[in-house]
Amino acid sequence: QGQLVESGGGLVQAGGSLRLSCAASERTFSSHAMGWFRQAPGKEREFVASIWSGGSTFYSSSVKGRFTISRDNAKNTIYLQMNSLKPEDTAIYYCAAKAPGLAKYDDWGQGTQVTVSS
């Protein structure tokens, strides 16, 4: 399995923006589906967004229209541009990878904290 390292988290006021990055060491990164998940205190981890190897993107209803996921295969990196942030977006954000043919994400980063103040 490859190593995933998230960065870009921090403290931001409501209405502000942040861009998260996830660097992957896996050589076959371009063939993997990649996703962002988050876990708020006291809540279960939830899906945020994903991008497939072909570029198709999917979003949870709570972030659609505010967040944008993208990937740069040349840099083995995915991004999550988060705009119009809300206090309820506060969570630890995790990057995940899913190898071709697998039903579940099987490789996870350590997470990066995003805190949105009101």
pLDDT band at 25 (very low <50, low <70, confident <90, very high): confident
Q: Which of 94, 111, 93, 99 is nearest to 26 (CA)?
A: 99
Q: Which pLDDT value is given to residue 72?
A: 94
Binned at pLDDT 50, 70 and 90, residue 28 comes out as confident
For residues 49 and 103, the model is more confident at 49
Amino acid 34: pLDDT: 95
- pLDDT tens string 66-108: 999 999 999 999 999 999 999 999 999 999 999 888 889 989 9
What's the confidence (pLDDT) of residue 107?
Answer: 92
> pLDDT at position 15, please?
98
Does residue 116 have a pLDDT over 90?
yes
The C-alpha atoms of residue 21 and residue 63 are separated, in whole angstroms, by 17
